[in-house]
Amino acid sequence: MSKQYSQIGHSAPRIDGPEKATGAAKYTLDLKFPNMLYGKILTSPHAHARIISIDTSEAEALPGVKAVITHKDVPTLKYGLSPARWDENIFCSDKTRFVGDKVAAVACVDEPTCYRALKLIKVEYEVLPAVLNFLTAMDEGQPLVHEEYANNINTEIHQEFGDVAKAFAEAYHVRTDTFIGQRTYQCPIEPHAAVSMWDNGKLTIYSSTQSPHYFQYYIAREFGMEMGDVRIIKTFVGGGFGGKLEPTGLEFAGTVLAKLTSRPVRMFYDRAEMFAHNRGRHAQQMEITTGVDKNGKILVAHANFKMDGGAYTSLGIASAYYAGALLPMTYEFDNFKFDMYRLYTNLPACGAQRGHGAPQPKYAFESHLDNVAKDLGMDPMDIRILNARRPDTVTPNDFKVNSCHMRECLERAREMSGWDEKKKNRVKGRGIGVSTGSFVTGAGYPIYRTDLPHASAFIRLNEDGTAATLYTGAVEIGQGSDTVLCQMAAEAMGYRYEQMKIVAADTETTPLDFGAYASRQTYMSGTAIKLAGEEIRKQIIDMASFMLSLPPEDLDVDNGVIFSKSRPDKTIAFEAVARKHFVLRGPMLGKGVYTPPRLGGSFKGAPVGTSPAYSFGAQVGEVQIDEETGEIKVLGIWDVHDCGKVINPRLLHGQVHGALFMGMGESVWEEVQFDDKGRILNAELANYKMLTAMDMPPIESEVLDSYEPSGPWGAKEVGEGSTNPTLGMFSNAIFDAMGVRVNSLPLTYEKVWRALKEKREAEAKAKADEAKPQAAAEYCQPAAPA
């Protein structure tokens, strides 16, 4: 069992709890500044259209309109994730590429005037044929979304590790399955918003952002400014889930509107505009082939994928690499081939959504693995335990795994869920499924090329020692980073969490941190903060040594008290020592910085998926299917995680619940649907169908006693990894219940009902014609993607 600590390992209440519970917490849309204007963006009503002309004169003449801007008023520099694929402009100049593409913007005295002004902007379009199906986007004769990208190929990946051909040749059983994953959207409840303002050549933007640093970098680059002249301040953020990791038109257009009017400009996306901006999960076609030996040991896997990138790169090139990179993580095999095309279409761009790139491939692989187990007559749990990754191993694509309790997660989930019992005593219409997941604990490399450290922090003691303030660029978006980082700071200092204050995520007052993505805050920011806290601890002990006339080696500090290790009666309060330090030596500061070690291989794309540590987890779910209607009732979900040392148990389990909730929505309900003109059919929450409190099944969440040697106090990730097993788990539970597989997400009641109907019809036909073998009915064809 791991060591007891006074500040970490406890469910401290959130540091921002009272503000959020009373409505005092200010989100970007709650901010008001004197003389503030309101801005809105005009977007394309066509999926693909040439812009013939834009006439803003009527809009400009409307009383209350203070500025109208188009592509002529903004830099023409393209932006995006990687220099090779900078493909997006602030405003479209030649053509628009999806319904929602940015065309113009206005700043007005109030929002109603903005909406009237937008209607007065006359844009003449020549509508072009659009690319709406990513599966045919590469075909000859298809229109091009971007003229400079032939065959609509945004990204092409071909990776091969080990001897794939030999392993397939030697395999006892080879099987191929194809699955379809749908487009989903992050759906934070808080809309994107930004308030931009200028003062003497300095730009300040309050934003609902997951990374003030990246916003600062991108905006400075776009406008040719020094980074030091751009200040990004994160307000309270009402959820991100990947969708708030890159700047939007709100920051870019807001910057220009604020400059032109010399007034603060507040902008936001309403719910339909959020859906149109999107950057959600890519729709994907996933063909998986594996070869196994006669015991079910995986020898080789080939992932052959296509993904719908939408109109721009966004963060999607990383999603494309992640889709394959994390596949060989939970199971050990040496031979792996990954082919991927990320294709441009005239639909909103896709990007990073919780579990970045990994959940759908995991769904495909885990569903496929159950098919393989069935072919071999194996229990799905047994084939997973047989193949489970072990600690201190290296994946075929050169990811080094330290701590890993994959096998124990599966064994514990088997026990908790009553797997063996339920497999033995079958109930009609009921099924149980298992799946695994894993995720990075922070990305090994930054989003843009830089040698800057990934995280840094400092801690300042108040002069009388009654408070300590943590300054960090880490980004609280709801996951609880402000709370756990203060717990970690207090633990490292020997101080008390209750006396911690925090200043975070403001590029001018807090030190660099890359922000909230890739599950990195607890580990990477936490490592920097631990070092900062240890600098304070050392100074406190030095001063206490002077005050108590005891050698520093004999002293320790915990929970705000400095004590002698040899003479327990000798103690002194932290506050007294801190005050004395200030009087004699001046302000007490501690600082820390974190840069990951050099990680990964040297092949093309090797950096994506690298991480100093990986989480592991297993989920089991039990469902009851109504054969008449296809309705899926979830009887229970059991989740077991290996996430290293737990800093705050209650917040950690909250992450598991939220990830599972999101995964469950993606499994059964959620899908962004388009009409034949590329317009979103369900750009609102009622028909996008997020789960309500009444839809959530009982969840049992458990963590293993685990220790990651490279992490602060042994911690590693949890927030995204818990989404990865969920889709496959549902797929497998439904398969177990029905005996037929629905091969496309979401696994809706309708698809389940159709699969059952086809099964019944096939069985009836087989009965009628007894000459034919019955096995043909075992696997139904994939349902047509919606």
Partner 1 sequence: MINRTITDRDGVKRYLITLNVNGDARTVLVKGNAILANVLRDDFNLTGTKKGCELGDCGSCTVLLDGTPVDSCMVLAVDADGHDITTIEGVAVNSKLDDIQQAMINYAGIQCGYCSPGMVLSAKALLTRNPHPTEPEVREAISGNLCRCTGYVHIVEAVLAASQGKLVPGEHEYPREEGGSI
Binding stretches for partner 1 (CB under 8 A): 1-2, 4, 9-11, 13-14, 16-27, 29-30, 32, 186-191, 236-239, 241, 270-271, 416, 477-480, 645-646, 649-654, 657-658, 660-662, 684-686, 690, 692-694, 696, 699-706
CB of 594 to partner 1, least distance (A): 24
Where does 343-474 have alpha helices with state H?
Answer: 359-376, 380-387, 406-417, 419-424
List Cβ<8 Å contacts ≥24 apart for 8-13: 8/484, 8/487, 8/488, 8/491, 8/645, 8/647, 8/648, 8/713, 9/645, 9/646, 9/647, 9/649, 10/487, 10/648, 10/649, 11/648, 11/649, 11/650, 11/651, 12/483, 12/487, 12/497, 12/648, 13/483
Rank residues 198 and 616 by Cβ distance to partner 1 and give the closer one: 616
In the complex, the smallest distance separating the C-beta of residue 199 from partner 1, rounded to whole angstroms, is 24
Query: Is-contact 293 111, C-beta < 8 A?
Result: no
**DSSP 3-state of 443:** coil
Cβ-based nearer residue to partner 1, 658 or 728: 658
By CB atoms closer than 10 A (0-12, 13-18, 19+), residue 304 is middle
Smaller CB separation from partner 1, 23 or 34:
23
Q: How far is the CB of 644 from partner 1 (least distance, A)?
A: 10
Coil/strand/helix, residue 761 = helix
Nearest approach, Cβ of residue 205 and partner 1 (Å):
19
CA–CA distance, 248 with 278 (Å, rounded to integer): 10
Comparing CB distances to partner 1, the nearer of 143 and 649 is 649
Contacts of 736 (CB under 8 A, 6+ apart): 370, 380, 431, 432, 433
Smallest separation (angstroms) from partner 1 to the CB of 655: 8
For residues 188 and 533, which CB has a smaller minimum distance to partner 1 in the complex? 188
Q: How far apart are CA 418 and CA 432, in angstroms?
A: 10
Residue 274 near residue 190, CB atoms below 8 Å: no
Beta bridge pairs of residue 284: 181, 307
Beta carbon of residue 707, minimum distance to partner 1 (angstroms, whole number): 10
Let me know the angle formed at the C-alpha of 307 by 301 and 311, rounded to the nearest 5 degrees: 160
Residue 61 or 189 having the CB closest to partner 1: 189
Q: What is the three-class DSSP state of 38?
A: strand
Calpha distance 508→453 (Å, rounded): 17
User: Smaller CB distance to partner 1: residue 22 or 35?
Assistant: 22
d(CA 184, CA 47): 19
Q: State yes or no: cis peptide before 746, omega within 30 of 0.
A: yes
Give whichever of 570 and 650 is closer to partner 1, judged by the CB atom: 650
| Closer to partner 1 by Cβ: residue 260 or 696 | 696
In the bound complex, what is the minimum distance in angstroms from residue 660's beta carbon to partner 1?
Answer: 6
- Please state the closest distance from residue 656 (CB atom) to partner 1, in A: 8
With contact defined as beta carbons under 8 Å apart, do 507 and 231 qualify?
A: yes
Tell me the CA distances in angstroms from 682 to 184, 596, 687, one per residue in order. Answer: 11, 42, 5
Q: Provide, rounded to whole angstroms, the least separation between the CB of residue 652 and partner 1.
A: 6
Provide the minimum distance between the beta carbon of 322 and partner 1 in the complex, in angstroms, as a whole number.
22
Which DSSP string do the residues of 501-524 spell out, in sequence order? EEEESBTTTS--B--SSTT-IIII
Percent helix, strand, coil in the chain (nearest 5)?
30, 25, 40
Q: Which is nearer to partner 1, 525 or 723 (CB)?
A: 723
Residue 235 is classified by DSSP as -
Looking at the Cβ atoms of 268 and 445, the one nearer to partner 1 is 268
CB 416 to partner 1: min, Å: 8
Q: With respect to partner 1, which residue has the nearer C-beta, 657 or 754?
A: 657
Residue 533 CB, nearest approach to partner 1 (Å): 21
Report how far apart, in Å, the C-alpha atoms of 533 and of each of 333, 468, 489, 560, 588 are: 41, 10, 5, 13, 11
